[in-house]
């Protein structure tokens, strides 16, 4: 997992290795049993309009308004339920497959084992709320236990990723506190101790848990992580931010469209598709992070994400403004507003992309930006300067400024051709 940790600190050996592997398999089988046996209950939930705040906050859910809109579109609640159950099964299968792959490839590594268990339990429990399943008492207790294991392993993962150690050391007490706070909610969800019974307290404690996770990862990244571990952290952060950010965009669209059925279907589908970025980014970080330059991917995402948002805002803003101008001049709307806005966007694409790229480079990649500018200035200087000694000094200065080595010197091979044999 990490280049900084010694093999003995991250690798399981001796009798513990088979014990841990057997425990992982037992949890996996228990989870799959709960998930498969809970599919009929999930189908029933998705066919019944929600009636309380908890059930109506689940993703996805059916409301009385959506039932009416389904009828108007000629669709049934059975179709709605079957559609989302199929997506949930696909999401779970992919997440479980990634977790199983990591277990198969790196089961001797304790951090990889934790990652695989997290993806299997928490990643699998995300699409189907296991605590709502209407099952027999034994399966109900098993479902809640799996949900608890998934949440606990996810919290532990973010505190010890990527090297398997607590940083800072006292953060282990934060893990115990976080797990202790969530235990009643996941194990006895309908009791007075459950946070779902206290919305305000739930919001405060949930924000505190997330804030503590962010602090621990930020402290590790800035103070402890080496270059390889920072690349791993960037992959996980990128996948998580992209997933949550994308879902937030579709949620805003859903609110703007006043919870229309099609917008809700699109937003809920996007939720599961985007959430897959999290297990995929974790898998890349754990298995093959050295094959990819995450900085380039983040840079392109920032540039084209900001470019797309700007162009969309300019496009619709241009249409609104031009339509008002046409109404004032002619008394009616005109399609020329759409044509003019389209031409404007086409003309602005390249210069706007360059400006955004420059802004991102200056703001987030200042060292690379300064190095590029220095090299461009030196390249221009080469066309004018003919004195070799001056160029030598400038070249040494450029290398020192751009690469920042501990020591730099320039050696030129002496001229070995006798002066008398030199060509005229």
Looking at the fold, whether 268 and 376 belong to one and the same domain comes out as no
Q: Does 34 map to a domain?
A: yes
| Same domain, yes or no: 316 and 169 | no
Residue 340 maps to a domain: yes
Kind and range of the H or E element at 282?
helix 277-287
Q: What angle do CA 159, 160, 163 make, to 5 degrees?
A: 150
CB 27 within 8 A of CB 117: yes
User: Would you say residue 327 lies in a domain?
Assistant: yes
User: Which of 291, 318, 341 is at the close of a domain?
Assistant: 291
Residue 335 sits in the same domain as residue 233: no
HSE at residue 262, side-chain half, CA atoms within 13 A, is: 3
**Beta-carbon contacts of residue 133 (< 8 Å; ≥ 6 apart):** 34, 38, 41, 42, 139, 140, 143
Say if 384 falls within a structural domain. yes
**Residue of 244, 214, 29, 239 whose CA lies nearest to 121:** 29
In this structure, the answer to whether residues 107 and 92 fall within a common structural domain is yes
Q: Tokens 């949890």 appear where?
A: 27
240 vs 228: CA distance, rounded Å: 19
Q: Identify whether residues 161 and 256 lie together within a single domain.
A: yes
Give the containing element (helix H, strand E) for 134: none
Q: Is residue 137 part of a domain?
A: yes
Task: Determine, yes or no, domain membership for 231.
Answer: yes
The verdict on 271 and 286 lying in the same domain is yes
Q: Which residues contact 72 (CB under 8 A, 6 or more apart)?
A: none
Which of residues 237, 261, 291 is at a domain's end? Answer: 291
pLDDT digit of tens for each residue in the chain (424 aa)? 444 444 445 677 778 788 888 888 888 888 888 888 888 888 888 888 877 666 776 777 788 888 888 887 777 888 888 888 888 888 888 888 888 888 888 888 888 888 888 888 876 666 667 666 677 788 788 878 888 888 888 888 888 888 888 888 888 899 999 899 888 888 887 778 887 778 788 788 888 888 888 888 888 888 888 877 887 888 888 787 777 777 676 666 666 655 566 767 777 787 788 888 888 888 888 776 554 555 565 666 667 667 777 777 777 777 777 777 777 777 776 677 777 777 877 787 788 878 877 776 666 555 555 556 666 665 666 666 555 566 666 666 656 655 556 566 666 666 554 555 444 4
User: 296 in a domain, yes or no?
Assistant: no
Cβ burial of 366 (10 Å; 0-12, 13-18, 19+) is exposed
Residue 374 contacts residue 401 (beta carbons within 8 Å): yes
| CA–CA separation, 189 and 52 (whole Å) | 14
CB 77 within 8 A of CB 62: yes
359 and 326 in a common domain: yes
The first and second tokens of residue 288, run together, are: 């093959």
Q: Can you give the pTM of this predicted structure?
A: 0.63
Q: Domain tally for the chain?
A: 3
Which tokens in the block code for residue 256? 């703007």
In a shared domain, residues 265 and 338:
no
Residue 191 phi, psi (nearest 5): -90, 170
Statement to judge: residues 318 and 220 lie in one domain: no
User: Alpha carbon of 119 to those of 70, 108, 123, 124: distances in Å?
Assistant: 34, 17, 5, 7
Together in a domain, 165 and 17: yes
- Is 2 inside a domain boundary? no
Say whether both 169 and 224 belong to one domain: yes
Domain, as residue range, for 401: 369-412
User: Are 71 and 205 members of one domain?
Assistant: yes
Q: Is 354 exposed, middle or buried, given 0-12, 13-18 or 19+ CB atoms closer than 10 A?
A: exposed
């Amino acid at each position: 997992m990490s280049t900084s940790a010694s093999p003995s600190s991250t690798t399981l050996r001796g009798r513990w290795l088979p014990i841990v592997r057997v425990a992982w398999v037992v949890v996996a089988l228990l989870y799959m049993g709960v998930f498969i046996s809970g599919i009929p209950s999930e189908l029933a939930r998705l066919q019944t309009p929600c009636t309380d705040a908890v059930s109506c906050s689940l993703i996805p859910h059916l409301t009385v308004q959506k039932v009416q809109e389904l009828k108007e579109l000629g669709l049934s609640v059975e179709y709605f339920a079957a559609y989302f159950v199929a997506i949930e099964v696909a999401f779970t299968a992919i997440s479980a497959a990634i977790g199983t792959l990591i277990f198969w490839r790196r089961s001797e590594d304790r951090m990889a084992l934790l990652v695989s268990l997290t993806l299997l339990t928490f990643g699998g429990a995300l699409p189907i709320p296991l605590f709502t399943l209407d099952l027999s008492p034994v399966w109900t207790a098993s479902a809640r236990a799996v949900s608890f294991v998934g949440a606990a392993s996810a919290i532990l993962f973010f505190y010890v990723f990527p090297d398997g150690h607590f940083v800072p050391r006292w953060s282990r007490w934060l893990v115990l506190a976080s797990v202790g706070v969530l235990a009643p909610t996941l194990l006895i969800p309908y009791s007075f101790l459950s946070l779902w019974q206290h919305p305000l307290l739930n919001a405060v404690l949930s924000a505190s848990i997330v804030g503590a996770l962010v602090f621990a990862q930020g402290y590790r990244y800035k103070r402890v992580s080496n270059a390889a571990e920072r690349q791993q952290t960037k992959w996980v952060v990128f996948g998580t931010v992209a997933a949550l950010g994308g879902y937030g965009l579709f949620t805003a669209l859903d609110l703007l469209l006043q919870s229309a059925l099609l917008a809700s279907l699109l937003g809920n589908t996007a939720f599961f598709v985007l959430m897959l970025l999290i297990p995929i980014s974790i898998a890349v970080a754990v298995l093959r992070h050295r094959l990819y330059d995450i900085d380039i991917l983040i840079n392109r995402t920032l540039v084209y994400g900001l470019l797309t948002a700007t162009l969309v805002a300019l496009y619709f803003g241009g249409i609104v403004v031009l339509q008002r101008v046409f109404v004032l001049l002619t008394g009616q709307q005109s399609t020329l507003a759409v044509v003019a806005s389209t031409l404007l966007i086409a003309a602005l694409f390249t210069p706007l992309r360059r400006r955004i790229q420059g802004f991102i480079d200056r703001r987030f990649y200042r060292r690379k930006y300064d190095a590029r500018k220095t090299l461009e200035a030196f390249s221009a200087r080469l066309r004018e300067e003919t004195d070799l000694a001056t160029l030598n000094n400038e070249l040494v200065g450029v290398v020192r400024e751009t690469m920042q080595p501990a020591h730099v010197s320039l050696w030129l091979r002496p001229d070995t051709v006798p002066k008398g044999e030199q060509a005229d």
